[in-house]
């Protein structure tokens, strides 16, 4: 039986695979890991380990951002682990990116290259503007969760 993959601060990205057996490829450190679980199952299981289910995390983010689509997910807010999707989660090209791993992103032809702090990177099928919007939305969520620490006032949630 496969060990369940849990998202950590070393996780850079999670994407679907074309394999008939493995459903996800996880970029972690210098290696690629494969899982029979979908990216959303990995995210849900990781959220549960850190204290809430994916549904609950999405409800909180929906309220913070006042939107329902392409929601970033606080995997472990206390550890600073937040993931954001590059497109609709129903899209087969959707890649989940770890916010804290992103060094830069830039348009290259019809795709966007996302560079990580370890000097690796990946191409995603999304525009730079779309990635920029997702990155900024995730920043809003991070600030919301850390308002008391950053500014000394406000609640950590609503």
Separation of alpha carbons 110 and 60, rounded Å? 33
Separation of alpha carbons 47 and 77, rounded Å? 10
pLDDT in tens, 124-144: 999 999 999 999 999 999 999
pTM: 0.93
Residues 65 and 137 sit within 8 Å (Cβ to Cβ): yes
pLDDT in tens, 23-68: 999 999 999 999 999 999 999 999 999 989 899 999 999 999 999 9
pLDDT of residue 1: 52
Helix H or strand E encompassing 62: helix 54-65
Separation of alpha carbons 94 and 84, rounded Å? 10
The tokens describing 93, both together, are: 């090209």
């Amino acid at each position: 039986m496969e060990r369940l993959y849990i998202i950590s601060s070393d996780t850079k990205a999670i994407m679907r695979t074309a394999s008939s057996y493995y459903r996800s490829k996880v970029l972690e450190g210098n290696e690629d890991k494969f899982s029979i679980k979908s990216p959303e199952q990995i995210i849900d299981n990781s959220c549960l380990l850190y204290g809430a289910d994916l549904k609950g995390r999405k409800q909180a983010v929906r309220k913070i951002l006042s939107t329902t689509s392409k929601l970033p997910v606080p995997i472990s807010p206390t550890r600073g682990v937040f993931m954001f999707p590059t497109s609709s989660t129903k899209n087969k090209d959707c890649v989940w990116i770890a916010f804290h791993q992103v060094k830069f992103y830039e348009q290259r032809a019809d795709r966007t290259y996302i560079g990580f702090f370890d000097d690796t990177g990946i191409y995603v099928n999304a525009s730079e503007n779309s990635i920029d919007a997702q990155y900024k939305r995730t920043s809003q969520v991070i600030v919301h969760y850390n308002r008391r620490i950053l500014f000394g006032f406000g609640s950590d949630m609503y």
